[in-house]
């Protein structure tokens, strides 16, 4: 089940972020995103009442900037990431957002494949974007 994230999900989302990313966001960052940021929209994927994935997006005028997509390693390759991104896209398109963007690590072939499947295209690179290791980011856009 995919649902909108709630304040009570913050701790679990932050812990999942630590498992999934080498440069995770802090719990306080997620707290601000979910509780205070009026431009943010976060969702979670649950299996048996346990959060196994989450995704977030910032609404910037008529564009959506996908900030994070994470799925617990034990639940990858089960369509959860695709479901999360699809829900983000569907929800924000109903709100009038017609284009979406994101950055993805150049080495994250699974994510790049997923985003390509969902209609995103590579439009450029951000050199040395990731602070933890200096890896480049691929900039991807999807326009309805």
Catalytic option among 115, 129, 130, 131: 115
Across-strand partners of 54?
A: 44, 70
Residue 64 backbone dihedrals phi, psi, to 5 degrees: -115, 125
Element (H, E) at 122: strand 121-126
The whole-angstrom separation of Cα 115 and Cα 99 is 13
Catalytic option among 33, 42, 103, 125: 103
User: Which segments within 19-62 are labelled E, that is strand?
Assistant: 40-47, 50-60
Q: Identify whether the C-beta of residue 112 lies closer than 8 Å to the C-beta of residue 136.
A: no
* 54 noted as active-site residue: no
* 115 noted as active-site residue: yes
What residues are annotated to the active site? 103, 115
């Amino acid at each position: 089940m995919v649902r909108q994230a709630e304040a009570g999900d913050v701790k679990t989302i932050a812990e999942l972020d630590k498992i999934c990313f080498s440069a995770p966001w802090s719990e306080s960052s997620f707290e601000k995103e979910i509780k205070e940021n009026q431009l943010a929209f976060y969702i979670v994927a649950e299996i048996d009442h346990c959060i196994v994935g989450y995704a977030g997006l910032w609404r910037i005028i008529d564009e959506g900037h996908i900030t994070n997509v994470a799925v617990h390693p034990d639940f990858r390759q089960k369509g959860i990431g695709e479901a999360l991104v699809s829900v983000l896209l569907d929800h924000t398109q109903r709100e009038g957002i017609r284009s979406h963007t994101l950055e993805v690590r150049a080495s994250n072939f699974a994510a790049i494949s997923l985003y390509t499947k969902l209609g995103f295209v590579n439009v450029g690179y951000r050199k040395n974007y990731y602070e933890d290791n200096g890896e480049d980011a691929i900039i991807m856009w999807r326009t309805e």
